[in-house]
Amino acid sequence: RRTTVTLVYLDHDGGLDDLAALRLLLSYEHVTLVGVAVTPADCLLEPALSVTAKMLRLAGRDDLRPAPGIIEGRNPFPLAWRVDCLRVDRLPILNAAPAPGRGARDARRPGGGRPSLPAHKDLARKVLAAPEPVTVVCTGPLSNLARGLDEHPEIEAGIREVVIMGGAVDVAGNVDRPGHDGSAEWNLYWDPDAADRVWRSTLPVTLYPLDATDLVPVTSDLVDDLTRAAGPSDAAELVATLWAMTFGTWECTGLPYCCWDTLTASHLGGEDICRFETIDTAIVTSGPSQGRVVRGGGRTVKVAVAADPDAFARHVISTLAGVGAR
């Protein structure tokens, strides 16, 4: 039977915009999530798993159990960024509904009572079990996909497209670390070898680098417009809350907090928000530019080179507004 539903596996790393991306993907009627992994990069793993499980449950997807990433990248994220999920995990909007019981009824549920596989194995298993090719959306580092490809090269045939938030092609990077030249973006810097492994695959890659995401900062207007569109206790309120929690980033880092991962997830929404170019690229894996995406090198990727912030805001608001049950 021909179906227009797109199967999606989300590998996120627990940032505020990763969670907004998860909520956006859950709101698309034509998208079915087949799995969710949490990479312990820009987050603490346990609270990020907890938040993810709560969001899945509130969206009626407690059949999905978030898979814990067990791979550590070479270049750790600042701890000050990684603690965001501790605060999100205690938001009233995620905790007002009664907690699920641990009785026999829950143990019989598909996701209940059974520990998840490590993320890279869960990714491979879900891709191999899917009835049609899966779109893998990576809003954190690429460690799980890279390990999955190493252990199960046959998953390449089961992946339609990899949509990645990462890199900075013709703009400055966002890594500000001693010994680094600032040309890389954090997701690819955390595990440059993983990015290189994905680049050496034959998978179709669509990249959302800083070139596009720099154009969609979280602004007061965006949060206010989304809030006005929100009914009580729904998806729009949750995302507006997540975005409100990003304020102070500019004061602390001198750089804005952008809708990096949420723009990337909006790729599945099928609207004209970004302009794309096909670009020949390679990944720098060592030295002061490690994690950088450079032009040349023979690996063709589809790159979002520009974004329309108004089209993005309209799309997010119309997708999330009125999506009930949080």
Residue of 6, 9, 15, 234 that binds ligand AGV (CB under 6 A): 15
Q: Please confirm, yes or no, whether 81 is among the known catalytic residues.
A: yes
Q: 125: burial class by Cβ within 10 Å (0-12, 13-18, 19+)?
A: middle
Q: 56: burial class by Cβ within 10 Å (0-12, 13-18, 19+)?
A: buried
**For residues 140 and 158, which CB has a smaller minimum distance to ligand AGV in the complex?**
140
H, E, C per residue of 124-173 = HHHHHHCCCCEEEEECCCCHHHHHHHHHCHHHHHHEEEEEEECCCCCCCC
To Ca ion, the closest distance from the beta carbon of 118 in angstroms equals 19
The entry of Ca ion, ligand AGV, none near residue 73 (CB within 5 to 8 angstroms by kind) is: none
Q: Does 249 contact ligand AGV by CB under 6 A?
A: yes
CB neighbours of residue 276 within 10 Å: 15
The CA-CA-CA angle for residues 145, 150, 156, to 5°, reads 65
Q: Does 214 contact ligand AGV by CB under 6 A?
A: no
CB neighbours of residue 83 within 10 Å: 13
To ligand AGV, the closest distance from the beta carbon of 279 in angstroms equals 19
Question: Residue 143 and residue 276: Cα distance in Å, rounded?
Answer: 25
Beta bridge partners of 277: 303
Q: Does 18 contact Ca ion by CB under 5 A?
A: yes
By beta-carbon distance, which residue lies closest to ligand AGV? Answer: 15
The entry of Ca ion, ligand AGV, none near residue 81 (CB within 5 to 8 angstroms by kind) is: ligand AGV
Active-site option among 32, 62, 81, 253:
81
Q: Which of residues 238-267 bind Ca ion (CB under 5 A)?
A: 261
Q: Which stretch binds ligand AGV (CB under 6 A): 87-95, 152-160, 249-257, 302-310?
A: 249-257
Amino acid (one-letter) located at 141? P
Q: Does 185 contact ligand AGV by CB under 6 A?
A: yes
Question: Residue 170 and residue 186: Cα distance in Å, rounded?
Answer: 16
Question: Residue 125 and residue 109: Cα distance in Å, rounded?
Answer: 19
Q: Does 257 contact ligand AGV by CB under 6 A?
A: yes
The entry of Ca ion, ligand AGV, none near residue 185 (CB within 5 to 8 angstroms by kind) is: ligand AGV
CB neighbours of residue 153 within 10 Å: 11
The entry of Ca ion, ligand AGV, none near residue 243 (CB within 5 to 8 angstroms by kind) is: none
Q: Please confirm, yes or no, whether 106 is among the known catalytic residues.
A: no
Q: Please confirm, yes or no, whether 18 is among the known catalytic residues.
A: yes
The entry of Ca ion, ligand AGV, none near residue 249 (CB within 5 to 8 angstroms by kind) is: ligand AGV
Question: Residue 228 and residue 2: Cα distance in Å, rounded?
Answer: 38
Catalytic residues: 13, 18, 42, 81, 139, 187, 260-261
Positions touching Ca ion (CB under 5 A) are 13, 15, 18, 139-140, 261
- Point out which residues bind ligand AGV (CB under 6 A): 15, 17-18, 42, 81, 139-140, 165, 174, 185-187, 249, 253, 257, 260-261
